[in-house]
């Protein structure tokens, strides 16, 4: 259940935690480890020959198997206030004494002692409890420092995407002072995340979103509120497509576990910008892309700025203007003809395929003659000629606007407001 400690930079108070672990290990002549509440290692002693195969494997892989973690947590250890024995129904896992690490009423982690024969006596258990209490004080101080630091950094990030140019300029200076990025980082990119739908399941969606983003961030600076969260990457080279996809997958999985699979996330990837001064542009692009992912499911849950086609232009229109413009007379006439249901989707597929009859007929699984008949009837109902570029453009843009307008109207029906596009200047 324990993974190898991070050999890189660690907080200054980690030495205090390590001393607690090493002292208890020497006194009991047993290996000791302390995990955080998610069963991720914070400190571990040397081994005394009592390690099991799961511990060896986790040390080598620097992670804990999700199945083992879930079965451990399912035993209710998060509610414990005193040491107890944990027997995990997984091959290779020996029984362990678990001493909850608490301070100020908060669960801050777990202290572990492998104890297959239940050989620890009352005095030894009391030593473990005392070590857990001292570790709780260390972790509580660390938590306070972390929360203060995170709150300061999060405030800077929100100011960094303010519509006020002066506030953004000051935030850039503050961000440089925080030294959150490696030396020479000149490429910045924003990954935006939003949840959709009403709260439900095992946890409110906005709470689950914040927890999931923090767990999956990989150390990237982040900011979150009730409806959205975003990660800021700053490096010499921008994150790869695969790296961003992996982060989105981890975040989705974590969010699903927290909400009981009742929640749904969409992601928007902003463009890569050169310099902190341009981060606001990537942020804006990321959440316009996330909006596209919400309203146009065919784009998939991860939408990337630069790959949205005509939606990239339409999303930058004020929402109320787009809703009004979506009422294209030609398409309204087509929709009113109830006897020709499906003509709108036929027309959109035909236009998406740039007028390729063979490909469109194949995708719709109909004969070409049937498609020609439908297209002729569409021309009669709309008054447009599909061999004219202007008519095609009018119909195609109208269809795309209708798709976004449907999303805006659904959002308003749920009690929201039509989004306003802030200027990037």
Q: CA-CA distance, 54 to 393, in Å (whole number)?
A: 61
Backbone angles phi, psi at 231, to 5 degrees: -110, 145
pLDDT in tens, 295-348: 998 899 999 999 999 999 999 999 899 999 888 888 888 888 766 668 888 999
pLDDT at 203: 47
Q: CA-CA distance, 54 to 112, in Å (whole number)?
A: 14
Residue appearing with tokens 């700025």? 305
pLDDT in tens, 1-24: 544 334 333 344 445 899 999 999
pLDDT in tens, 133-190: 999 999 999 888 878 888 999 999 999 999 999 999 999 999 999 888 888 888 999 9
The pLDDT confidence band at residue 197, using thresholds 50, 70 and 90, is low
What are the C-alpha distances in Å from 348 to residues 43, 310, 345, 352, 386? 58, 13, 5, 6, 12
CATH 3.30.70.270 residue spans of the chain: 181-309
Considering the domain 319-413 in this protein, what is its CATH number? 1.10.10.2840
CATH 1.10.10.2840 residue spans of the chain: 319-413
Q: What angle do CA 91, 94, 100 make, to 5 degrees?
A: 120
Burial tier of 169 (Cβ tally within 10 Å: 0-12, 13-18, 19+): middle
| Number of CB atoms found within 10 A of residue 225's CB | 12
Q: CA-CA distance, 338 to 367, in Å (whole number)?
A: 22
Percent pLDDT > 70 in the chain is 89
N residues, the chain: 425
Q: CA-CA distance, 362 to 338, in Å (whole number)?
A: 25
> What fold does the segment set 181-309 form as a domain?
Alpha-Beta Plaits (3.30.70)
For residue 191, is pLDDT > 70? yes
For residue 278, is pLDDT > 70? yes
The pLDDT confidence band at residue 260, using thresholds 50, 70 and 90, is confident
Give every CB contact of residue 137 below 8 A, 6+ residues apart in sequence. 103
pLDDT at 97: 95
Q: Pairing relation of β-strands 302-304 and 264-269?
A: parallel
For the chain, give the mean pLDDT: 86
Percent pLDDT > 90 in the chain is 57
422 or 161, which is more confident: 161
Q: Model-level pTM?
A: 0.70
Residue appearing with tokens 């990954």? 191
CATH 3.30.450.40 residue spans of the chain: 14-138
Q: CA-CA distance, 136 to 305, in Å (whole number)?
A: 45
Coil, strand or helix: which one is 100?
strand
Q: CA-CA distance, 308 to 16, in Å (whole number)?
A: 51
What are the C-alpha distances in Å from 382 to residues 232, 261, 322, 337, 402? 47, 44, 21, 10, 16
Give every CB contact of residue 410 below 8 A, 6+ residues apart in sequence. none
Q: CA-CA distance, 283 to 233, in Å (whole number)?
A: 11
Stretch 78-90: mean pLDDT: 92
Coil, strand or helix: which one is 19?
helix
Q: CA-CA distance, 413 to 352, in Å (whole number)?
A: 29
> What fold does the segment set 14-138 form as a domain?
Beta-Lactamase (3.30.450)
Q: Are 258 and 203 in contact (CB under 8 A)?
A: yes
Q: CA-CA distance, 54 to 94, in Å (whole number)?
A: 9
């Amino acid at each position: 259940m324990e993974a190898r400690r991070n050999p890189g930079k660690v907080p200054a108070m980690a030495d205090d935690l390590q001393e607690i672990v090493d002292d208890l290990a020497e006194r009991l002549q047993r290996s000791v480890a302390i995990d955080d509440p998610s069963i991720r290692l914070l400190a571990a002693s040397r081994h005394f020959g009592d390690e099991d195969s799961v511990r060896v494997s986790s040390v080598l892989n620097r992670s804990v198997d999700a199945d083992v973690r879930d079965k451990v947590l399912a035993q209710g250890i998060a509610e414990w206030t005193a040491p107890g024995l944990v027997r995990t129904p997984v091959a290779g896992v020996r029984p362990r004494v678990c001493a909850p690490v608490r301070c100020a009423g908060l669960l801050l982690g777990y202290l572990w002692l492998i104890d297959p024969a239940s050989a620890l006596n009352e005095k030894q258990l009391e030593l473990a409890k005392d070590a857990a209490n001292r570790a709780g004080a260390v972790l509580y101080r660390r938590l306070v420092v972390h929360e203060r630091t995170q709150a300061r950094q999060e405030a800077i990030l929100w100011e960094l995407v303010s519509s006020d140019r002066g506030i953004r300029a000051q935030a850039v200076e503050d961000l440089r002072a925080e030294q959150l990025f490696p030396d020479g980082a000149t490429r910045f990119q924003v990954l935006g995340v939003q949840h959709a739908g009403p709260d439900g399941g095992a946890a409110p969606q906005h709470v689950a979103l914040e927890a999931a983003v923090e767990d999956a961030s990989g150390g990237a600076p982040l900011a979150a509120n009730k409806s959205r969260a975003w990660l800021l990457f700053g490096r010499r080279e921008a994150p790869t497509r695969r790296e961003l996809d992996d982060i989105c997958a981890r975040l989705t999985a974590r969010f699903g576990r927290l909400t009981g699979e009742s929640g749904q996330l969409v992601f928007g990837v902003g463009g890569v910008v050169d310099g902190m001064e341009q981060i606001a542009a990537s942020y804006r692009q990321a959440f316009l892309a996330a909006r596209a992912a919400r309203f146009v499911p065919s784009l998939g849950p991860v939408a990337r700025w630069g790959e949205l086609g005509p939606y990239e232009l339409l999303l930058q229109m004020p929402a109320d203007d787009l809703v009004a413009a979506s009422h294209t007379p030609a398409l309204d006439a087509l929709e009113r003809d109830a006897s020709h249901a499906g003509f709108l989707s036929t027309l959109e597929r035909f236009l998406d395929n740039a007028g390729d009859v063979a490909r469109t007929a194949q995708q719709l699984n109909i004969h070409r003659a049937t498609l020609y008949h439908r297209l002729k009837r569409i021309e009669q109902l709309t008054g447009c000629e599909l061999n004219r570029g202007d008519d095609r453009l009018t119909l195609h843009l109208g269809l795309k606007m209708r798709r976004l307008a449907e999303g805006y109207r659904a959002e308003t029906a749920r009690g929201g407001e039509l989004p306003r596009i802030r200027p990037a200047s």
